[in-house]
């Protein structure tokens, strides 16, 4: 019977979870499309590369959307069960609230484990490939966008003007062509042609212009008296255009969000060794300075003689001390930089675990709220979820900023949101178990009088009914 109950409750969650996950993912994708698509399309990329770009960015969207979908699905499912009085029927059959929530918590735990694996194995690789692809796209030159009657200056060392153009998928047919060729620093060429065609060789990135019935005018810039004019029936011009063809790059460097927690913990250990080494260098330099300028004992004749001769070499001593100060400042700055880097890495490590753990936290919040709302509509779930999303992500983002500036610990920065929302969720669960009101119905006028120690029969006009309220409160 318990398995039947589990299966029924989980079945109620599957549909809302898939629907909420799709909606939230769509919102993230639309935001990404509106932000990135114009820049991508202006590069003249193939449709497959555009799909790859958005597919690689889908990884971080999934990592954020799944916990949010858990909250929406929990609110909708328990809201419907409560609205149809099925929760009341289960409780009347002796099934407690905690037992009703157990299958959902178990499934949330499974999602939590899956997201932890996903954040450490899949997400870093997708982020790394997405960054490389974005940098390759940024380097790529836009496609040849010729317009009739408009000078085209995007070709290196060439200026092109055509009066008429007919474009096909791979070739542009042009009439009345004018070309200013500055590829030779010692000569200037001006070419005209009645008509021609232009196409791009995608293998080698060369732009080929085949011109017919034209003239080439060439001026030697070193010997300007040398000028020649040639007529040609056909002329082929090849222009090498760097980055016109999309080239994929590879890099071993990875940012913080392109590493697994194991890789970042290894980097933290290496940084701490560097800090310890730098601290040892500072200690040795300070010890050497003390041993050189301060005698270990008042009776040491050699040290006393060195101290007596100190004013004679005061200038060189000051220079040495100034150099020591600079070296120590450099070491301190290095250690602070390493500590700041460690904080940033620890923030990313804890983030890979705290966000998946939010699946459990959101069940604690969503289940009692859904029971209290007694509705299972998407609008109700979205409205309640938005407030908790805002609180959760604001706390998470603010904590990350504080931790990066070393104002709070990385652990507290990433787990404070779970702690705050989790405490609220536990309170709501106990409230649902005991079926109490969220806030006691207090007479705020009587409460005000009690806070200020006013007797009920004072000038405030409190009568017997008010005294009775005070006694009840």
Please report the sign of the dihedral spanned by the C-alpha atoms of residue 363, residue 427, residue 402, residue 385.
positive
Query: Whole-angstrom Cα distance, residue 314 to residue 22?
Result: 75
Return the pLDDT at 360.
93
For 279-287, the CB contacts below 8 A with 24+ separation are 279/331, 279/335, 281/331, 282/328, 282/331, 282/332, 285/324, 285/327, 285/328, 286/328
Return the pLDDT at 298.
53
Return the pLDDT at 281.
87
State the alpha helices, DSSP H only, in 374-409: 378-404
Q: What is the pLDDT along the chain (473 residues), one digit of tens a residue?
A: 678 888 888 998 999 999 999 999 999 999 988 888 777 776 667 788 888 889 999 999 999 999 999 998 998 888 888 888 888 888 888 888 888 899 999 999 999 999 999 999 999 999 999 888 888 777 665 556 678 888 888 777 888 888 888 877 678 888 988 888 888 888 888 889 999 988 777 666 677 888 999 988 888 777 777 788 888 888 888 877 765 556 677 777 888 888 889 999 999 999 999 999 988 888 888 888 777 766 555 555 555 555 555 555 666 777 777 888 888 888 888 898 888 889 989 999 999 999 999 999 999 988 888 887 765 555 666 677 777 778 888 888 888 888 888 888 899 989 988 898 888 888 888 888 876 444 344 344 454 555 555 444 444 444 444 444 444 44
Q: Do 154 and 142 contact (CB within 8 A), yes or no?
A: yes
**What b/e readout covers 23-61, taking b as 16+ CB neighbours within 10 angstroms?**
ebbeebeeebeeebeeebeebebeeebbeebbebbbbbb
Query: Whole-angstrom Cα distance, residue 152 to residue 179?
Result: 10
Return the pLDDT at 404.
81
Return the pLDDT at 106.
93
> Among residues 365, 356, 422, 359, which one has the least CA distance to residue 78?
365
Assign residue 179 a region (left: φ > 0; alpha: ψ between -120 and 50; beta: otherwise).
beta
Q: Where are the domains of the chain?
A: 1-140+258-439, 158-240
Return the pLDDT at 392.
83
| Biggest CA pair distance of the chain | 118
Return the pLDDT at 269.
92
Assign residue 178 a region (left: φ > 0; alpha: ψ between -120 and 50; beta: otherwise).
beta
Return the pLDDT at 115.
94
Q: How many CB atoms neighbour CB 224 within 10 A?
A: 9
Return the pLDDT at 443.
47
Q: Do 143 and 44 contact (CB within 8 A), yes or no?
A: yes
Using DSSP, state whether 236 is helix, strand or coil: strand
State if pTM tops 0.85.
no
Residue 254: DSSP 8-state: -
Please report the sign of the dihedral spanned by the C-alpha atoms of residue 441, residue 443, residue 448, residue 450.
negative
């Amino acid at each position: 019977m318990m398995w039947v109950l589990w299966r029924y409750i989980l079945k109620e969650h599957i549909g809302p979870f898939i629907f909420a996950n799709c909606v939230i993912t769509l919102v993230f994708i639309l935001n990404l499309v509106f932000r990135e698509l114009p820049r991508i399309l202006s590069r003249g990329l193939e449709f497959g590369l555009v799909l790859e770009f958005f597919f690689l960015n889908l990884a971080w969207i999934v990592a954020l959307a799944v916990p949010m979908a858990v909250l929406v699905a929990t609110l909708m499912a328990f809201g419907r069960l409560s609205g149809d009085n099925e929760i009341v029927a289960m409780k009347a059959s002796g099934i407690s609230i905690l037992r009703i929530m157990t299958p959902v918590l178990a499934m949330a735990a499974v999602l939590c484990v899956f997201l932890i694996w996903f954040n450490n194995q899949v997400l870093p690789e997708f982020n790394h490939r997405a960054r490389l692809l974005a940098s390759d796209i940024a380097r790529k030159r836009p496609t040849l966008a010729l317009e009739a009657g408009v000078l085209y200056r995007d070709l290196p060392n060439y200026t092109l003007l055509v009066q008429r153009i007919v474009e096909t998928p791979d070739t542009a047919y042009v009439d009345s062509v004018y070309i200013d060729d500055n590829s030779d620093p010692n000569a200037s060429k001006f070419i005209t042609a009645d008509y021609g065609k232009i196409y791009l060789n995608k293998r080698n990135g060369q732009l080929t212009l085949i011109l017919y019935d034209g003239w080439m005018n060439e001026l030697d810039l070193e010997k300007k008296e040398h000028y020649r004019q040639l007529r040609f029936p056909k002329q082929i011009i090849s222009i090498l255009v760097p980055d016109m063809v999309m080239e994929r790059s590879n890099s071993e460097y990875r940012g913080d969000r392109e590493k697994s927690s194991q890789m970042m913990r290894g980097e933290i250990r290496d940084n701490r060794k560097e800090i310890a080494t730098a601290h040892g260098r500072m200690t040795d330099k300070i010890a050497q300075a003390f041993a050189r300028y301060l005698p270990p004992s008042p009776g040491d004749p050699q040290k006393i003689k060195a101290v007596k001769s100190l004013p004679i070499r005061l200038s060189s001593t000051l220079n040495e001390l100034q150099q020591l100060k600079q070296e120590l400042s450099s070491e301190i700055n290095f250690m602070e930089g390493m500590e700041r880097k460690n904080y940033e890495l620890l923030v990313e490590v804890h983030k890979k675990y705290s966000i998946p753990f939010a699946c459990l936290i959101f069940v604690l919040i969503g289940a009692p709220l859904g029971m209290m709302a007694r509705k299972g509509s998407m609008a109700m779930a979205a409205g309640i979820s938005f407030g908790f999303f805002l609180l959760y992500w604001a706390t998470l983002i603010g904590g990350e900023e504080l931790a990066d500036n070393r104002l709070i610990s990385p652990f507290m920065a990433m787990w404070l949101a779970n702690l705050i929302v989790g405490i609220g969720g536990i309170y709501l669960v106990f409230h649902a178990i005991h079926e109490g009101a969220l806030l006691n119905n207090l007479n705020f006028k009587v409460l005000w009088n009690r806070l200020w120690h006013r007797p009920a029969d004072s000038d405030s006009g409190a009568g017997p009914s008010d005294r009775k309220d005070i006694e009840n409160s």
